[in-house]
Amino acid sequence: MTAFSLEPAQLTWCDELRTLAAERLRPLAEKGEPGRVNRALVAELGALGLLPRLFTSGALDLCLMRESLARACTEAETALALQGLGAHPVHAHGTAAQRARWLPGVSDGSAVAAFALSEPDAGSDAAALSLRAESDAGSGAGSPAWRLTGEKCWISNAPEADFYTVFARTTPGAGARGVTAFLVPADRPGLTGTPLDMLSPHPIGALSFDAVPVTADDVLGEPDRGFRVAMGTLNLFRPSVGAFAVGMAQAALDATLAHTAARDAFGGKLCDLQTVSHQVAEMALRTEAARLMVYAAATAYDAGAPDVPRRAAMAKLLATETAQYVVDKAVQLHGARALRRGHLLEHLYREVRAPRVYEGASEVQRGIVAKELYRTYQTQRTHDTTTEEAGA
């Protein structure tokens, strides 16, 4: 039990999730092909009632789900998270028709969603994206219509998703204010994609848009306000990326405790060596600190706190950097066996690197934190000056 005040029911639920992940989800994950969408696994997440919770639970519940699943089966965690990331804009900003068309399939696992923001030259600087949404004056439609032209890259679940939340530039030169979010079904003419062979085993691909038609019926939210859709989604999912990282760190710590307690070395057990036990203590300390920051950020989101961007960035930053540290230390304490293909830590070592990059690299998170700190400082300074002048 952590120091955070989780309710007994929440703790029991986390235990149940880990059991489900180990007994029902991991066997399906092991049958999947690395780098491909595992539709059987996604369908099982729906059958277990976990996918619908993406749209009915708060940020803390999302974090508990992701941490618990990651501790036992990272593939199941990632499949769940990608459904949420791709479909949350539809849930939060879609029309009644859009939600009715796509969300039931996302919830039962029959429709695979994807979040298409990053581009070859616009990853961390999302406001610089260049996928063009050009007005289609010749469409003859009564509502606004556009043609999407350009590329997206590093898109999870591409090119196998059934629909994409796509962010495109509708107003050139307007920065973040000229971006629109569109719901684009995968079968739209002109939309093609290719898989990318990446270090992490989950599906990632590139998308090419060759004058792909979209209309006002495909807009998520309002035209030119799509950056808000993207940032709102990321503010929710960034703490839960941290939860994914905490789950991996905890899995590595669990494995290290078992190994060092059983391993004979230098006339005793490996854990009897002070240098080893102190490293394990440091791993536990950092994992718990990251966990508490993730839970605090998620609780702030659920409470509608004004400092969510800073808290979300801090949580993702600390948790992902911590997980990298803990998994690396676990590999070192296990020795060569941890580098063998198929070992849990070999798997975690490949998995743990990507979260420090996606949904905003660690450097981007530091930038967000600094920006929010100075914004708060200037606001407080202005308030203090005004108060002093009023009292003079």
Looking at the annotation, which residues are catalytic? 359
> What string of H, E and C letters represents the secondary structure of 116-151?
ECCECCECCCHHHCCCEEEECHHHCCCCCEEEEEEE
Rounded Cα distance between 224 and 91, Å, is 19
CB 358 within 8 A of CB 244: no
What is the rounded CA–CA span in Å between residue 238 and residue 252? 21
HEC profile for 154-221?
EEECCCCCCEEEEEEECCCCCHHHHEEEEEEECCCCCEEEEECCCCCCCCEEEEEEEEEEEEHHHEEC
Would you call 321 helix, strand, or coil by DSSP?
Answer: helix
The count of other CB atoms within 10 Å of the CB of residue 8 is: 8
